[in-house]
């Protein structure tokens, strides 16, 4: 059945379809609809919803629920996302899977709660201190909001890491006709511990390995800490125990980029200019692409659905195809730095806007033709 659905609504249903059974959060515009829907729907499937006192506690609660065996999620926007950073780093250090939805709004500070932005792109990657990898996905449409939420849960469990769904106010609040799949037909992988209790090593450090996480209460005993730890989870200051952990954790995504990176390519032979975009800005970019092609221009377009890890090989290949890459963003230039790093600044044209409005197709056309 086709239904007119909001992006935030699709995210909530995507979480349910993926098996999310615990949500903790604090209301914040423009993500609150996610909490409202899950507060109603989670109890119907045996799940739990808790409104916490703030975003710090919300992040801590979903970490605890995940350790207890429940697929868990929270949702927020820029100010709350800032408050979550310390506990996101804890989840990365302890390798605890969870999903964090950030429906971005205009900032800094309180900004404008109902205005759109893509201002949290670099915070999603570098918001916590220290070195660790991160996965961040960016939906362009309502249906993708559903699909990428399901994917976020899969990647989180598979690679034992927090996964960020980096939406924005436009995608979160717009409505589109959507036909969701039958949840029973979805193939949701499960990553279970197969070792016997005494054989289980929760943080074994074979390079690129991702040992599955055993839930507390099912017969496995191990230690969890935010400190550097040995393979059994106990704190350590020994370099010969810290270095293998650093090596494994910081390469466990690199070795599986084919599984993690998602992009959409729309290329034309002979194109000299390309548009690279993500999120709501990709919608304006798509419209500009149609106008340009109707005028007889050959234009490529690369849409990033995974923005972290950054799709370096795909962007580098695009830079070899064309002479100019236009990068529209609803900020003053964030992901464009990564594009410039891969193809050189001379090939990149920035189209930026940070006043709460969308980048218009005309601005993108002007940059293509200029």
Per-residue pLDDT of 341-366, as tens digits, reads 999 999 999 999 999 999 999 999 99
Q: Domain segments of the chain: what residues?
A: 2-185, 263-369
Tell me if domain 2-185 and domain 263-369 are identical in fold. Answer: yes
Residues 6+ apart with CB under 8 A from 121: 136, 166, 307, 329, 331, 334, 335
Q: Is 275 helix (H, G, I), strand (E, B) or coil?
A: strand
Residue 69: both structure tokens together: 């065996």
Tokens of 56: 């710090």
Q: Does residue 109 have a pLDDT over 70?
A: yes
Judged by phi (left if over 0) then psi (alpha if -120 to 50, else beta), residue 96 lies in beta
The CATH superfamily label for domain 2-185 reads Thiamin diphosphate (ThDP)-binding fold, Pyr/PP domains (3.40.50.970)
Q: Give tens-digit pLDDT for 4-60.
A: 999 999 999 999 999 999 999 999 999 999 999 999 999 999 999 999 999 999 999
Of 284, 352, 274, give the one whose Cα is nearest residue 316.
274
The CATH code that applies to domain 263-369 is 3.40.50.920
Cis peptide bond prior to 61, omega within 30° of 0: no
Decide: 24 and 84 in contact? Cβ < 8 Å: no
Quickly tell me which residue has 């039958």 as its tokens: 182
């Amino acid at each position: 059945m086709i239904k007119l659905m909001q992006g935030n609504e699709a995210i909530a249903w995507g979480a349910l379809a993926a098996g999310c059974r615990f949500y903790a959060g604090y209301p914040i515009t423009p993500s609150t609809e996610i909490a409202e829907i899950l507060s109603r729907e989670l109890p119907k499937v045996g799940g739990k919803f808790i409104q916490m006192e703030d975003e710090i506690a919300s992040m801590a609660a979903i970490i605890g629920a995940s350790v207890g065996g429940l697929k868990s999620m929270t949702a927020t926007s820029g100010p709350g996302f800032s408050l979550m950073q310390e506990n996101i780093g804890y989840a990365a250090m302890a390798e605890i899977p969870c999903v964090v939805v950030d429906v971005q709004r205009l900032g800094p500070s309180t900004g404008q709660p109902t205005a759109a932005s893509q201002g949290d792109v670099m915070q999603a990657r570098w918001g916590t201190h220290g070195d660790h990898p991160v996965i961040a996905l960016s939906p362009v449409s309502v249906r993708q909001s559903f699909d990428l939420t399901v994917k976020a849960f899969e990647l989180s469990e598979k690679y034992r890491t927090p996964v960020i769904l980096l939406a924005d106010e436009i995608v979160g609040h717009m409505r589109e006709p959507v036909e969701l799949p039958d949840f029973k037909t979805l193939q949701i992988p499960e990553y279970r511990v197969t070792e016997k209790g005494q054989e289980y090593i929760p943080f074994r450090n074979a390079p690129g390995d991702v040992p599955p996480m055993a839930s507390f209460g099912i017969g496995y005993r191990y230690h969890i800490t935010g400190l550097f730890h040995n393979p059994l989870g106990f704190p350590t200051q020994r370099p010969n125990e810290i270095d293998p952990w650093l090596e494994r954790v910081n390469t466990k995504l690199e070795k599986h980029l084919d599984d993690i990176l998602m992009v959409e390519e729309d290329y034309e032979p002979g194109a000299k200019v390309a548009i690279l975009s993500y999120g709501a800005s990709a919608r304006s970019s798509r419209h500009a692409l149609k106008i340009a092609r109707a005028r007889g221009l050959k234009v490529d377009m690369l849409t990033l659905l995974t923005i972290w890890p950054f799709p370096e090989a795909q962007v580098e290949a695009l830079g070899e195809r064309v002479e100019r890459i236009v990068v529209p963003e609803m900020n003053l230039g964030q992901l464009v730095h990564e594009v410039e790093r891969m193809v050189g600044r001379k090939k990149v044209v920035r189209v930026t806007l940070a006043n709460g409005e969308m980048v218009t197709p005309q601005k993108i056309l002007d940059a293509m033709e200029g």
